[in-house]
């Protein structure tokens, strides 16, 4: 149940500052099994969250894995040290690493990607809202109340458009299986294809909404993946940045059209040719998914 966050998730926080504490509390409130935080030098002491429950500090991520069975880390460590935090988590045996931190340099992320290449872990982010399995647990900053358990997966490069999409679906009675914000930086962990492979194997997920944006070629690669038979479930997609001028970064560090490539129109055309239901406006995502589910005789709930 859930392609990344499951009832077996045991969460720690790296970077338990003001934001880390607040969002750790919200993860606990949603039902995630939170087992502590990493703070070098504070191992053996404890802290409390908004629920007034006491949780342990660990000196290292490895201590959290050994002593508390941690298998997931949520990272709020400031950008200059965030790459080291991700690599420490991967080295310690953390299976799911979700980095919320933004502003990490491309060079540092290149080092992280190379480091985790042969590690048995999944990285979501950086600069992302995280992952939620509605009704089960969440890791990140997504508002839990807008979600509803169901069978439509959501995957997005944009945090705010993820929330807008989920709210539309929920208001229309369409529940979600897992929602993943993969991040908008030029170099990130898991890609659209990585997540779609998991949605393909997930019997609960019957259809998917994908939110792309200008820059890079992730959407083009996804279209090729679909055309080659890698993903055969119904999909609705929206590509942000349709009015963006070439050479100007729009919002995310990776959202930039360079040398005529990575345009929204090109991505939309290629996805349509792959059989994806592409919408021009984000306001049409929910109602388009209603039609898609009806067309395929699929129920919107579990």
* C-beta neighbour count of 294 within 10 angstroms: 10
Q: Confirm whether 10-124 and 143-295 share one CATH topology.
A: yes
Average pLDDT over residues 200-215: 94
Q: What's phi and psi for 92, nearest 5 deg?
A: -80, -10
Determine the distance from the C-alpha atom of residue 292 to the mean position of all C-alpha atoms in its chain, rounded to a whole number.
24
- The burial class, CB within 10 Å (0-12 / 13-18 / 19+), for 282 is middle
CATH superfamily assigned to domain 143-295: Succinyl-CoA synthetase domains (3.40.50.261)
Protein fold of 10-124: Rossmann fold (3.40.50)
Work out the average pLDDT over 204-219. 92
The 10s digit of each residue's pLDDT in 90-108 is: 999 999 999 999 999 999 9
Q: Tell me, what's the pLDDT at 255? A: 47
Residue 225 parent element (H or E): helix 218-227
The domain locations on the chain are 10-124, 143-295
pLDDT tens-digit readout, 161-205: 999 999 999 999 999 999 999 998 999 999 999 999 999 999 999
In the residue annotation, 252 being an active-site residue is answered as yes
pLDDT for residue 260 = 52
Q: State the pLDDT at residue 6.
A: 97
pLDDT reported for residue 245:
61
- Choosing from 252, 277, 291, 296, which is the catalytic residue? 252
């Amino acid at each position: 149940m859930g392609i990344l966050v499951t009832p077996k998730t045991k969460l720690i926080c790296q970077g338990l500052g003001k934001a880390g504490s607040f969002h750790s509390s919200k993860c606990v409130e949603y039902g995630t099994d939170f087992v502590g935080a990493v703070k070098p030098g504070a191992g053996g002491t404890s802290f409390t969250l908004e629920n007034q429950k006491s949780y342990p500090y660990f000196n290292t991520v490895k201590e959290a894995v050994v002593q508390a069975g941690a298998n997931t880390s949520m990272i709020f460590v400031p950008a200059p040290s965030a790459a080291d935090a991700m690599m420490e988590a991967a080295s310690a045996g953390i299976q799911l690493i979700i980095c919320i931190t933004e502003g990490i340099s491309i060079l540092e992320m290149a080092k992280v990607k190379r480091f985790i290449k042969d590690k048995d872990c999944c990285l979501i982010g950086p600069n992302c809202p995280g992952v939620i399995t509605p009704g089960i647990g969440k890791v990140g900053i997504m508002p839990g109340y807008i979600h509803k358990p169901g069978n439509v997966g959501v995957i997005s490069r944009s945090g705010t458009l993820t929330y807008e999409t989920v709210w539309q679906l929920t208001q229309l009675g369409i529940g979600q299986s897992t929602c993943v914000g993969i991040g908008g930086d030029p170099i990130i962990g898991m890609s659209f294809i990585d997540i779609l492979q998991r949605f393909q194997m997930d019997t609960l997920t019957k259809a998917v909404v994908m939110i792309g944006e200008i820059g890079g070629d992730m959407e083009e690669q996804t279209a090729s993946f679909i055309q080659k038979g890698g993903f055969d479930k119904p999909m609705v997609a929206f590509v942000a940045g349709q009015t963006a001028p070439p050479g100007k970064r729009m919002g995310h560090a990776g959202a930039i059209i360079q040398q005529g490539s990575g345009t929204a129109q090109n991505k939309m055309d290629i996805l349509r040719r792959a059989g994806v239901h592409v919408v021009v406006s984000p306001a049409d995502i929910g109602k388009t998914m209603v039609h898609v589910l009806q067309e395929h005789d699929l129920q919107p709930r579990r």
